Structure 1
Amino acid sequence: MLATHDTTALDAAIDTEIRAALASLRTELELKLESSTAMAQPQSHPLGSHVHALAIGMVEDLTGFFVAADTLENAAAVTGDDLEDKAQYWWSPSEWGWQYTGGTAPGIVTTEIWALAKGLPEGADDENENGEYAALAGLYEERIILCLQRLRGEGELRNVQGEELWVWVHYADASNENIDDTSFARLNDRATAELFGKRWGGGLSAVLEERFAVLQPEGRET
């Protein structure tokens, strides 16, 4: 029988870190927008101001929790021979230009998931997909998704333009490539999720390219 875990502290840590990341992102973007409005020429900025996507990043060994965001400005600047080449960046949150990892490493989320991992029965097999370690990893994913669903319901997952962000969970080490699609389907509307599933051959990649139309050549919005 698999162990049960009290996720109270983990849930609080996940919620705290994601909210802190959102606050940090909003502050940075609001300053960017104020600066662009006040100056005749927009300042060079590595992020831009129109966020369209947010992802929670993690890795297989239950470390490396981070929040990543990308903007239309960044996405529009990506070069490649074709849509599929550019999509490799667009849908890889670990490659995005803005990431929030919290305070001093390992961070409060990693600390709490490690605490649960230390409580696993002796001999728990991290190679067994049906074992204790895999079950804990699945629980960890679920708690992150549930937190994001709550934040979506509270209206927290919108950009400063008032649009709903595309949101999902992503493994930076590609140890679970299914989580991108399954989490996206639970965190976004059905039509968008269907397009996300076709992103490598068009789908949401084509939609993203269409959204670049709101940007002027220098990256400012029309």
Structure 2
Amino acid sequence: MKWQWIADNWDQISDYGWAHLWLAVVPVIVGTVLSIPLGWIANRYRFTRGTLLVLGGVLYAIPSLPLFVVLPSILGTKILDPVNVEVALSIYALAIMLRSAADAFASVDRNDILSADAVGYGALRRFVTVELPLAGPVLLAGVRVVSVSTVSLVTVGSLIGVNSLGYFFIDGYQRDFPTEIWVGVIGTVLIALVLDAILVIIGRVTMPWAKRSPRVRARREAVAREAINT
């Protein structure tokens, strides 16, 4: 490692690090928000589950680099516009989160839903105060997987000129300069770890009941394993 090079180029490293973080966070939020109603629909209406999950699999199967190249012509943006990367990564985030969201709502005990109906909860109130909180721990497990996946995929955007920590992979490889490559790798891993830690803290603060439920823990672990396998 050339520590002097890192010190001399710290401003560029930090700028690309913040850009990398922003390019990752927006798609994770968008994918999660869109997946919640779609996951609920997939669980509520069984005939839609197969269609939506197959659609998610098809979306995730689209190669990232060709998608980055094609999107500008679809969106009417310039090829170097970061919006192209954010839209593409939002598609991938949604594709992964669809199954997690469907499984999250499926993990809600049917008796809890019936109890809410029995005391007169409407569909919207039941969703907001019963189904969504109880599905939260499994949803969070899916978001954590999406977060790590998105942080890694951001680096591909550097191939079309959208700068992130992926720039150091490319430049370091072209110059045969391992220090640059290591800066990109370590920076990307650190961002993934920081985002995951933030998500864990959010989960512990907002859903303290999750760690006390063996059923929720088992379902959460199953969702993580399924996401990794896909």
TM range (shorter): 0.3 to 0.5
Q: Which has the higher helix share?
A: 2
**Considering only CA atoms, is the larger Rg found in Structure 1 or Structure 2?**
2
TM-score of the two chains, using structure 1 as the length reference: 0.37
Q: Which has the higher strand share?
A: 1
